[in-house]
Structure 1
């Protein structure tokens, strides 16, 4: 029997997809006025500034909550996902139509899942693999429509490589997803924005009008900043491959916007590719995972309420109905319920 997911992680992932998907066609409108490197820098700077202010207002400090051995994962995520990937995406957008570019971004979910399965040993099954194959088929069809020109190929390859970098970023970010999502996304945005803008200055690029800059910063805050915060929360609850599957709905949002509001023409191949991708996404959205599993003893820290997985004692006073953050230990337990490969369910499967 097919059942649809219903969880905090699902809502976070789909909302992240909505925000990021909507940002792509609007960023595309700026590619004629701003160089790809500078545009990538402004988008991430908008994310960093907006989330930095959010954290200061919320927490009155900029503490990360990261452990010493987790900083390396964040640095790697910033390099691949915050510096290399957005530059490649903006280069791709200058050579590719916005609707096609939006659907090509579905490759990110496929590559994210492959990295999660092969290198990080996250569980998968035939249903998820079949859905990924349909998404890949749609992406290949979409790329083949660009064979008539070298520029079309360059655009498709640039976007596909950006997806590869984001896939690496997603898997590295999963390693620290139990930490403060606002700090993770904000620091990535601020550092990536400063580096990309510095590169733009180094090669002699000049800033556009302030109205264009402000527009780019706003797109970055919503489409890259708030979206990434929600994406990190989804990683915490769903795991990497499942979050990537939900996030793969983002390109459909972008494609719908450019078709409806910007009147970009489409072709029969475009709709066939969209159908393949849509079926693949639907298969992922309806995946259900339930079996007897064992939780090993675990010590970590994250924002939580007391539920079936959090029945520990405290050495401080607390409101039993209020979520809170502190280091806590999980004792070994075996039980059965519907679950995802979240921060509490990274067990092996037969």
Structure 2
């Protein structure tokens, strides 16, 4: 059986869509910062994501089977680590780092998240990274750094170390999340939003902040639902299809998306810096899209559960009629073949 669609689908559109939604969050949040404490706003964004996805899950599951695998007992430690690193440790380190460091230096350092995500995936989890991905990621990261550069460089003080620590925490979060990306992404993102939002709002209240007016709370919740919640669901689905390093590389386009939206929404100036950054990111995106990882590879026998359709990797029998996609425990027989692929759920083999 041959592939009926490009190996770029649906992972690449999902990763880019996630970057667009997340990239829109900073300029939209900036409109709210005059009325909301930054710590409180972070909490409201995450709570909006968690509550919105909880409502969506309730409506979805009442109408039909989601076709997604449920979280198993062995997934809980990874989920807890992801929530702890990405929803609590990362934001707390960032807040303290912003207090001790300049905003421009902190913005520049935040671009380390993509680098940390890729480095951990490559060096710790041995995910395949070829020259196309490395050069493309370098071009995207350079463009993101250029967007954040204010001419003052980076101040290497305690604040800078705290911001870099936040990026490391988010890089770990992305890699931990990949370990459970076969399960329902709505549930993962919902739990992340609810836990992180509750903790951050609690910290804001302890610090003396007060809840803003209801229209501001509703606006923040709406931004959080799309910019964090829906974006995170798409990010997890992209992890499922692309692996961590490539998803993180595409996600690094978010600062450029945010800069473009700031021009449209906030009237920011179009600068030479933005044009050069856009060119660098365009080159990086082209390098990623032109990557063709294609070689003969062998699938070992594997038993797992995740949402799937009956494609060339899923040729098992059902006793009665089924709807697709669906999720159940299934076994893969050993298989050797050749086709373009990414390090997805079924292609995490060694490359020597």
Output the TM-score relative to the length of structure 1: 0.87
List alignment gaps of at least 5 residues for structure 2: 1-5
* Segments of 4+ moved more than 6 angstroms: 61-64, 90-94, 152-158
- Residue equivalent to 2:8: 6
The equivalent of 2:28 in structure 1 is: 26
Q: Residue 45 of structure 1 corresponds to which residue in structure 2?
A: 47
- Give the equivalent residue in structure 2 for 1:337: 339
Alignment of 1:1-350 (within 5 A): 6-60=8-62, 65-87=70-92, 96=103, 101=107, 106-142=111-147, 144-147=149-152, 160-265=164-269, 268-314=272-318, 316-319=319-322, 322-350=324-352
Write the distance in 2 (CA, Å) between the matches of 1:57 and 1:72. 28
Query: How many Å separate the matches in 1 of 2:153 and 2:336?
Result: 57
Any gaps of 5 or more consecutive residues in structure 1?
none
**Preserved CA contact (<8 Å) 1:96 1:155:** no
CA distance in 1, matches of 2:41, 2:249: 27
C-alpha offsets along residues 197-226 of structure 1, whole Å, 9 cap, x if unaligned?
A: 111122222111111111111000000001
After TM superposition, the structure 1 stretch with the greater mean CA deviation from structure 2, 264-273 or 22-31, is 264-273
Distance 2:215 2:343 in 1: 44
Q: State the number of aligned residues.
A: 341
Q: Partners in 1 of 2:266 and 2:97 — Cα distance?
A: 19
C-alpha distance after superposition, 1:173-195 (max 9, x if no partner): 00000000100000110111111
Secondary structure in 2 matching 1:261: helix
Q: CA deviation at 1:59?
A: 1.3
**Residue 40 of structure 1 contacts residue 87 of structure 1 at CA under 8 Å; is this kept in 2?**
no
Q: Give SS of 2:320's match.
A: coil
1: distance between equivalents of 2:172 and 2:59? 31
Q: Deviations over 1:40-91 (max 9, x none)?
A: 1100000000001111111149998112111111011111111233455677
CA contact (8 A) 1:81 1:169 kept: yes
Contact 2:90–2:165 (CA under 8 A) maintained in structure 1:
yes
C-alpha distance in 2, partners of 1:6/1:24?
Answer: 28
CA RMSD of aligned residues (A): 3.0
**Structure 1 residue 18, shift from structure 2 partner:** 1.2
C-alpha distance 222-235 of structure 1, shift in aligned 2 (>3 A): same
After superposition, the C-alpha distances for 1:86-123 in whole angstroms (9 at most, x for unaligned) are: 455677889547xx94x865543222111100111100
Task: Specify the alignment match of 2:3 in structure 1.
Answer: none
Contact 1:104/1:142 (8 A) holds in 2 = no
